[in-house]
Amino acid sequence: MPDPYHVIDLFAGPGGLAEGFCAARAEDGTRRFNIALSIEKDPAAHKTLLLRAFLRQFSGSFPDEYYTWLNGGSGQPDWQTLYPDEWLSATEEAQCLELGKKAADRAIDARLDTIVAQAADRCIVIGGPPCQAYSLAGRSRNSGNKDYKPEKDQRHFLYREYIRILERVNPALFVMENVKGIVSSNINGKTIASQILDDLRNAGSKGVGYRLVSLGTRDSLFNESEELSMRDFLVRAEEWGLPQARHRVIIIGIRNDLWEANADVGLAQHMPAISRDVLKGLPHLRSGLSKETDNLENWRAAVEAAYVAILRETRKSDTKVHDKAADRLDAFRTRNAALDRIEQGVPGVSSRCPDTLAQWILDPKLRRTYNHEARTHIRSDLGRYLFASVFALVHKRSPKAGEFPKSLSPKHENWNSGDFSDRFRVQVWSRPSTTVTSHISKDGHYFIHPDPLQCRSLTVREAARLQTFPDNYVFLGNRTQQYVQVGNAVPPFLARNIADVVWRLLASGNSVRRSGRDLFVSEAGSEAA
């Protein structure tokens, strides 16, 4: 078995992309990819990244002390004292540095040179430059700032730091991820997508350059890279077995001198997943109450009052919602009186969750659900959350602003303008969730839990489930910082599937062509069409 590839992870966040690559294994269980360096500037995300880098030092199973902590121990152990060698390796791998800063670049370059000397030609670069300037939400915020000048926003040009690393490392392959807003982002009326693609094609040393590979459709993998536009690189996560409709640009570049021998690579089919698959099975929580005394008695009274209001206003306007609300009110009144905001129960998944996804998420050693604590909400928002979740049970979609009962309409001047018709958005059991973004850190209005009996927004763990992080993946920092990390991350299960494609591009020989169509062939030789 050849040595694993050395992976350099740029703009790593909490480590979602690296997690997927580390999970790619050969038949004998050895890793095909080892993370040599991860770089992240945010201190909270770096803490999460560092902990995971430490845990990866252990083959087979994490330390017993880790599970003692997660299952109710008093606090995170002192890893440096317990496992000094493994902790040292982790600190060398996961570094809190900001690309583009002179002092940081000097340290990074020295580390890169060492990695390249060790890896020879078995090195790849992964990661995605920060996306705020490209995202549709970010561009909307910037448009309202009369002093904003896109040509001076350095976030537009952080991809050049990515290019700089490619020039220095000359990797066999790279993977670059970004938001779909990059497709149409422009500076002074000129789109930057074509410039980015040209820069990536011509990156590297010795003038060899890269062939750009798209995962956007089953056929585009084999198109000439010069014919592809940025839109061709748009990957829809729900088509890759994720319970989330997350659409991101993912560009794979393989060095031109390696392409010819690796052109025969196909894409696997994946079992579809929905929100129910990963949200069901987690311990039930109640939301908290803000701006008043938070206890179970007051919460139950607030939710029951919201039910009564919904029943009154939907009796004639939407009889199906009325009947479902009445049914749910009966269930609510008989609900376990011990329901709390933090539940220590064992995490599970829906019985219909695809086996591969369930195996990826669950850890049989866990007896507690970590990062699973409900937020607090004001009474009026509890009513809106309740209505939205009941409405979704009936209509299989989230309600628009005009469909809310008048008593639940917030006193916003633009509520009925049509500009914010989905200001309150419930995730629907029977569909993949909407895109989990860092906005979840600000409020829960776009991420309402589909269960009317819980009447709340998603927890960090539930957002992490939709992002396909394993349950044993702990997010550090305060809760706001944890939400930001989850929302900004690359889903690890998607990264794991991409790692399979990358391996086949690099290793070749694991695909066949039949009737002009490429089919994925497993290591054992069986087709997964």
Catalytic residues: 131
What distance in Å separates the CA atoms of residue 405 and residue 384, rounded to the nearest whole number?
A: 9
Neighbours of 106 (CB within 10 A): 10
Neighbours of 435 (CB within 10 A): 18
Neighbours of 328 (CB within 10 A): 20
Tokens of 70: 């997660």
What distance in Å separates the CA atoms of residue 172 and residue 255, rounded to the nearest whole number?
A: 6
What distance in Å separates the CA atoms of residue 529 and residue 522, rounded to the nearest whole number?
A: 10
Longest dimension (CA), the chain: 74
What distance in Å separates the CA atoms of residue 253 and residue 266, rounded to the nearest whole number?
A: 16
What distance in Å separates the CA atoms of residue 41 and residue 47, rounded to the nearest whole number?
A: 11
Tokens of 87: 């902790």
Checking DSSP bridges between strand 190-191 and strand 186-187, what pairing results, if any? antiparallel
Angle between helices 43-55 and 84-93 (to 10 degrees): 130
211 beta partners: 254
User: What distance, in Å, lies between the first and last C-alpha atoms of the chain?
Assistant: 27
What distance in Å separates the CA atoms of residue 457 and residue 342, rounded to the nearest whole number?
A: 14
Q: Cα–Cα–Cα angle for 196, 198, 204, nearest 5°? A: 95
> Are residues 381 and 445 in contact, defined by beta-carbon separation less than 8 angstroms?
yes
Put residue 330 in one of left, alpha, beta given phi > 0 → left and psi -120 to 50 → alpha.
alpha
> Are residues 52 and 485 in contact, defined by beta-carbon separation less than 8 angstroms?
no
CB-side exposure of 34: number of CA atoms within 13 Å? Answer: 19
Q: Cα–Cα–Cα angle for 162, 166, 167, nearest 5°? A: 115
Using CB atoms within 10 Å of the CB of residue 499, give its burial: 0 to 12 exposed, 13 to 18 middle, 19+ buried.
Answer: buried
Residue type, 273: A
What distance in Å separates the CA atoms of residue 344 and residue 340, rounded to the nearest whole number?
A: 10
Strands (E), 245-304: 247-255, 288-289
Tokens of 35: 């993370």
Q: Which helix (H) or strand (E) holds 166?
A: helix 159-169
What distance in Å separates the CA atoms of residue 464 and residue 443, rounded to the nearest whole number?
A: 16
What distance in Å separates the CA atoms of residue 52 and residue 49, rounded to the nearest whole number?
A: 5
> Are residues 353 and 57 in contact, defined by beta-carbon separation less than 8 angstroms?
no
